[in-house]
């Protein structure tokens, strides 16, 4: 069975004993190769029941990515559809954004959605994709105990990692207002240790997000916090800023010295070339909310046009065709599965 990604093809081999599908890469696709939803949903190396299929897990792939010298890019997704599109268009990892998922649920990014609601969305994203997913876990939704339960549940769903930020619960989105209260370092390091203790796979990635620059605490405190989180067991540091240029991010990178992989989200300093981040030693760049914002813009424009003109005639040419949607969602796999089931 073959599954197509934008940059490569992969072959699934059905294990006759346990039914797991093992993944091997192929350089090119033979004629008539077909993408199937069933193959996509089963492309994972270490099954949730712990069975090793002999291929890299999503978590191990993510861990390898952030340790590489080349930049890794994570594309934001907020539901199964946006996650699938991100993968089809070539992204090798996905950021399950708290802001974007909350917005898609019709609530604000201030912990108005429960963590079980958000993990329900994440589950759909895992089912729709094969690439590593990092979940925006906000503050961990409380103390060390709620944080470790969130991480444990997320790992069971099949995500590759979770990112926790060092603010207090409930938090406000980092780009809203000027009141951002940081957690005590002792409380946040306790969360990190509890989460690392609760993970099952040694490859699972816990990212510690430092919000000191967002809160106006300055570079020195940002570095102190990052060092403490490193010592507590974090696998990567996400240094966050909302300045219009990358000066304070690049200053942090110089002082940090690549002690752990660094993650950034250049939402407000988007004009900075990625080559500068590469040169500064950044490991991963998150395009943190762009699919959601694109969807908001497109939906508002289409709704406004249809409402105003009371017709969809001119709008149709600007939309994805139903055939494109059916192909993206692999409707043909249902017929294939039916033929196999009924042996026709």
Q: Is 179 helix (H, G, I), strand (E, B) or coil?
A: coil
Q: Which of 89, 1, 69, 5 is nearest to 39 (CA)?
A: 1
pLDDT value, residue 15: 34
Active site residue 109: yes
> Does residue 183 contact residue 141 with C-beta atoms inside 8 Å?
no
pLDDT value, residue 32: 35
pLDDT value, residue 55: 79
- Read off the tokens for 131: 């690439």
DSSP lists the bridge partners of residue 76 as: 95
> Does residue 161 contact residue 59 with C-beta atoms inside 8 Å?
yes
- Read off the tokens for 180: 């951002």
| Residue 263, phi then psi, degrees to nearest 5 | -120, 140
Flag residues of the chain having pLDDT under 50. 1-52
pLDDT value, residue 175: 81
**Per-residue pLDDT reduced to its tens digit, 308-333:** 999 999 899 999 999 999 999 999 99
pLDDT value, residue 116: 95
pLDDT value, residue 1: 34
Q: Which of 56, 154, 100, 69 is nearest to 286 (CA)?
A: 100
> Does residue 191 contact residue 140 with C-beta atoms inside 8 Å?
yes
Give the C-alpha separation, 130 to 181, whole Å: 37
Give the C-alpha separation, 240 to 210, whole Å: 6
Q: Which of 237, 238, 189, 243 is nearest to 216 (CA)?
A: 243
Distance of alpha carbon 155 from its chain centroid, rounded? 13
The catalytic position among 109, 136, 203, 235 is: 109
Contacts of 124 (CB under 8 A, 6+ apart): 79, 80, 83
Q: Which residue has the tokens 């952030």?
A: 66
* HEC per residue, 192-230: HHHHHHHCCCCCCEEEEEECCCCCCCCHHHHHHHHHHHH
| Residue 135, phi then psi, degrees to nearest 5 | -95, 130
Global confidence as pTM: 0.85
Give the C-alpha separation, 45 to 56, whole Å: 5
| Alpha helices, H only, the chain | 37-42, 58-67, 80-88, 98-104, 115-128, 144-157, 185-198, 219-232, 247-256, 274-280, 290-309, 322-328, 332-342
pLDDT value, residue 54: 62
Cβ-in-10-Å burial (0-12, 13-18, 19+) of 203 comes to buried
**Per-residue pLDDT reduced to its tens digit, 280-319:** 999 999 999 999 999 999 999 999 999 999 999 989 999 9
> Does residue 174 contact residue 200 with C-beta atoms inside 8 Å?
no
């Amino acid at each position: 069975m073959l599954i197509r990604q934008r940059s490569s093809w992969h072959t699934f081999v059905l294990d006759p004993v346990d039914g797991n599908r093992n993944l091997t890469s192929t350089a090119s696709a033979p004629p008539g190769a077909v993408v199937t939803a069933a193959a996509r949903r089963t492309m994972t190396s270490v099954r949730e029941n712990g069975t090793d299929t002999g291929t890299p897990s999503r978590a191990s792939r993510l861990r390898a990515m952030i340790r590489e010298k080349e930049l890794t890019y994570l594309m934001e997704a907020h539901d199964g559809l946006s996650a699938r599109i991100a993968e089809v268009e070539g992204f090798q990892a996905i950021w399950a954004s708290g802001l974007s998922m909350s917005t898609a649920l019709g609530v604000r990014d201030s912990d108005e959605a429960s963590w079980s609601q958000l993990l329900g969305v994440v589950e759909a994203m895992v089912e729709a994709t094969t690439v590593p997913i990092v979940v925006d876990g906000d503050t961990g939704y409380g103390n060390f105990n709620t944080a470790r339960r969130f991480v444990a549940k997320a790992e069971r769903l099949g995500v590759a990692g979770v990112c926790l930020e060092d603010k207090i619960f409930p938090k406000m989105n980092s780009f809203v207002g000027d009141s951002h209260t940081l957690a005590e370092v002792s409380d946040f390091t306790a969360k990190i240790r509890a989460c690392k203790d609760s993970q099952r796979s040694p490859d699972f990635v816990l990212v510690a997000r430092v919000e000191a620059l967002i809160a106006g605490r300055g570079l020195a405190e940002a570095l102190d916090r990052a060092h403490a989180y490193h010592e507590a067991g974090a696998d990567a540091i996400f240094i966050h800023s909302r300045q219009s240029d990358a000066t304070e991010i690049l200053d942090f990178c110089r002082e940090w010295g690549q002690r752990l992989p660094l993650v950034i989200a250049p939402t407000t300093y988007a004009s900075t070339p990625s080559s500068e981040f590469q040169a500064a030693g950044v490991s991963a760049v998150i395009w943190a909310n762009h699919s959601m914002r694109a969807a908001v813009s497109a939906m508002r424009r289409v709704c406004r046009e249809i409402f105003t003109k009371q017709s969809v005639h001119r709008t149709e040419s600007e939309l994805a065709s139903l055939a494109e949607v059916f192909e993206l969602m692999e409707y043909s796999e249902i017929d294939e599965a039916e033929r196999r089931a009924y042996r026709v």
